[in-house]
Structure 1
Amino acid sequence: MPAEPNNWGRFGPEDQRGTLNLLTGDVVLSALAAARTGQVLSLSMPIRGATSSPAPTTVPHLRGRPLPQHFMSVDGGDYAAGVRPVGAGLRMADDALIVTHHGTTTHMDALCHMWSGDELYNGHPAARVRSYGATRCGIEQVGGVVARGVLFDVPRHLGLDHLPADFRVPAQLLAEIAVPRAGDVAVIRTGWPAVWERSHEEYWSGQPGLSAGAGRWLASMDVSAVAADNAAIGGLNERQLADEPLDDDLHLILLHRHGIHLIEMLWLEELSAAGRTEFVFVAAPLRIEGGTGSPLNPLAIL
C-alpha cells in the first residue's frame, strides 16, 4: 500500500472503480442542476483519416506516437474490403477499424494504466495486466460518467490565451478559480492544443500542466475524475517526459493511489468561450474488456 494518503480499501477490498463510486444517484441528480440552457458541447479532438492521407497530422498529438487512424471501405484506398451492396443502386461504406493510442486523441485512462511495484490501485496484482488485457481495473469497469463538471480555466484567469510550456499549475491557483464538491469532474484548461495551429514544433517543445501539489489538492477534494486539454495531466518537457520525481508523478498520485480516472487531450476552447465554470459532464468509454483506456467523446451540457 502506498505510504501517502490514498483510497485503497475505502470502497471495499475488491473495488475497481475508485472515486467513481462517489457518483451515487443523489450526486448525479444534483449534478444535473448545473445545466442552464441545454446547449451541448463536444469536448473531444477529432479523429481524421488514415495513414494514407495527411489528415492525422492536422490534429495535436505527441511526437512519435502512432497517430489516430480511421479506416473506411469506400474506394479501396484505405481498406481492401470494398463497398458493401445493400440493395438495387445502393451502396454502404463500412468503417473497418479505428486505432488509437494514449497521447494522440481524446481518451480516458483506466486504473490499470499505471501501477507501482507489483500492485495496481487498491492492491490488485499488477500481474493481472497482460497482453490480452487486464483482468483487474480495466476500462470496462467505468460504465458511464454523469457528474457536475467544474472548469478550471487557468489561462483565462491569468489573462492569457494559453499557459507557457513550462507552467505547472499550483493548488492555490486552482482554489482561486473554484472549489469542487465531492464527485465533481475537475476539467483543467491550459489552452495548449491551440498552439498546434500556430506551430507543431512549439507544441512539441513541452506542455503546461498540473503540479503534483495541485493533483494532491484535487484528490483531497474527492473529485471523481480529472480531465485536461494537455496530453498527460501534468506538464511535459521538450522530450515529452515529466520532470517531477517518481513520488510526484500525477498518474501515480491520481490513478494508482486515489483511484481517480484521468481524461486527457480534451478540446476546451468552445467551453472556455462560453464562460461557464460549472456544467453537466457526460462521458462513456467503450466497454473494452481489460482495456487500459478508451477513446472518448466527453460532452458538456451548459
Structure 2
Amino acid sequence: MSINLEPTPYDGTGAASKKWWPSRYGAGDQLGAGNELNSDRTLEGIRSVQQGRVIELGRELHPAVPAFDPRAWQQLILAHGTLEDLWLDKGATDVSFFEESVWQSYQIGTHLDALGHLGIAGRFYNGTPYAEFYDPHGLTKLGIEHVRPWVGRGVLLDVAGVLGGPLDEGFVITAEHLNAAEAKADVIVGAGDAVLVNTGWGRLWAADPGRYASGQPGIGWEGAHWLTARRVSLVGADNSSFEPRPFEREAFSWAVHQHLLAETGTYILENIDLAELVTAVTSTFLFILSPIKTRGSTASMVAPLAVI
C-alpha cells in the first residue's frame, strides 16, 4: 500500500489535521510570503504614489496601551548622566544626558509577527518541530531577523466602509465581504501586496482600551484563504490580532493565525492605525515597513508608512 506524503491543506483541527507541510516555497524555507517581494513589486508600489503625502500607520506606545495579558511595556528613564560628577568631558563640553531602559514584549503595540511566533501542535512554519529551533535566548530559526523589508504596493480594503460603519465585536469578515471591498476599491489584490483591512475597531484604541483588547471583528477562515490564494505577503488590520474574537466558532481559536503564519508563511501586522488612510480616498499606496532585526525574536515593533 502506498502512502501519500504530499501535504494537504491545514483543516483547523490541530494535531488531528493531515500533514500540511512543506510550504509552497519549499522545504527548509524561512522567508515565507516574503518570497513574493521583489524589485517589480517595489516599482509597482512606487508607481502608486501621486501626492507625496506620508501617512503614519503605527501607534504611540506607552504603559497603558491595550495588550493581551501578560504582555506589557515599561520604560525607566535613567538620569545618572545629569549628575554633575558624571557629566561627560567635564570641564570642556560638560555633556549631560538622559537615556532609557525598557522592559517589554515585542508582541505589543504596532508589531509584526515572525513566522516563529505561532504553530500547530508543536510544529511551526514548514512543519518545523519546536525542539529544532527553540533556545531560551532566541529562536535559531524563523526569527524576525529573516524578514525582508517591505517597500512595495499596499492595498486598503475598507470593509467597514462597504458595510456602512464600524463592525461589531466577533463579526466575521468573509470572502464575500473582501470581494465587495476589492470591487469598491477598484483594485485587484495580487501577489506580494500588503493588504490592510479596515474594520473600524481601531476607534476604540484610545477611547475604550479595555473593550479594544477584549474582543474584535476580524478576518474569518474563508476570508484568510481568500487572501492567501492571492499570495499576498502581509496582512494587517486595525485590531489586536487580525482574526475575530470571540472566534468564528467554538474550538477554532487562533486557526486563522495558524493558516497564515504556520501553513502559508503570511506575515501579520497588528494594532495599526488606519483612521487617516481611510479618509485619504485612495486604495493603493507605497507601503514601507522595516522590522528591527533582533536575532531570534518572535516579533518586531514597527512604524509602518503609507505614501500616497
Give the TM-score category using the shorter length. 0.7 to 0.9
Give the equivalent residue in structure 2 for 1:225: 234
Q: Which 5+ residue runs of structure 1 have no aligned equivalent?
A: 49-55, 75-80
Question: Secondary structure at 2:180's aligned position in 1?
Answer: helix
Large movers: runs of 4+ above 6 Å: none
Q: Is the 8 A contact 2:7 2:21 kept in 1?
A: no
1:65 aligns with 2:70: yes
Matches within 5 A, 1:14-53: 14-48=28-62
1:100 aligns with 2:105: yes
Distance 1:2 1:110 in 2: 22
CA shift digits 1:6-49 (9 cap, x unpaired): 6734323221011111111122212211111111111111113x
2:158 is the counterpart of 1:144? no
Question: Residue type matched to 2:224 in 1?
Answer: G
Residue deviations 1:62-93, cap 9 Å, x none?
A: 3x33322233224xxxxxx4546345354221
Give the AA of the match of 1:36.
Q
Farther-moved stretch of structure 1 (81-90 vs 33-42)? 81-90
CA distance in 2, matches of 1:235, 1:154: 14
Deviates more, 1:107-116 or 1:65-74: 65-74
Amino acid at match of 1:171: A
Unaligned 5+ segments in structure 2 are 1-5, 11-19, 183-187
Bigger mean CA offset, 124-133 vs 286-295? 124-133
Q: What residue identity is the alignment partner of 1:260?
A: T
CA distance in structure 2 between the partners assigned to 1:92 and 1:189 by the alignment: 42
Residue range with higher mean Cα deviation, 28-37 or 4-13? 4-13
How many residue pairs get aligned? The number is: 282
Take 2:203 and 2:145, find their aligned partners in 1: how far apart are those partners?
31
How does 1:283-294 map onto structure 2 within 5 Å? Answer: 283-294=289-300
Give the drift of 1:60.
3.1
Deviations 1:195-249 (A, max 9, x none): 2443344334521111111001100011001111111110113xxx774544871
> Counterpart of 1:17 in structure 2: which amino acid?
L
Q: Could you say which residue in structure 1 is the equivalent of 2:176?
A: 172
**Distance in 2 between residues matched to 1:148 and 1:60, nearest whole Å:** 29
- RMSD (Å), alpha carbons: 2.3
Do the aligned residues in 1 keep the contact of 2:57 with 2:304 (CA within 8 Å)? yes
Is the 8 Å Cα contact of residues 229 and 267 (structure 1) preserved in structure 2?
yes
TM norm structure 2:
0.84
Once the two structures are TM-superposed, the CA of residue 166 in structure 1 deviates from its matched residue by 2.1
CA contact (8 A) 1:143 1:287 kept: no
Quick one: distance in 2 between partners of 1:44 and 1:166?
A: 24
Measure, in 2, the Cα distance between the counterparts of 1:191 and 1:2: 37
Given candidates 58, 76, 85, the residue that maps to 2:87 is 85
Q: Distance in 1 between matches of 2:116 and 2:7?
A: 16
Instruction: Report the AA paired with residue 177 of structure 2.
Output: L
Q: How far apart in 2 are the matches of 1:198 and 1:99?
A: 23
Cα distance in 2 for partners of 1:93, 1:230 equals 34
State how far apart, in whole Å, the 1-side matches of 2:190 and 2:21 are: 17
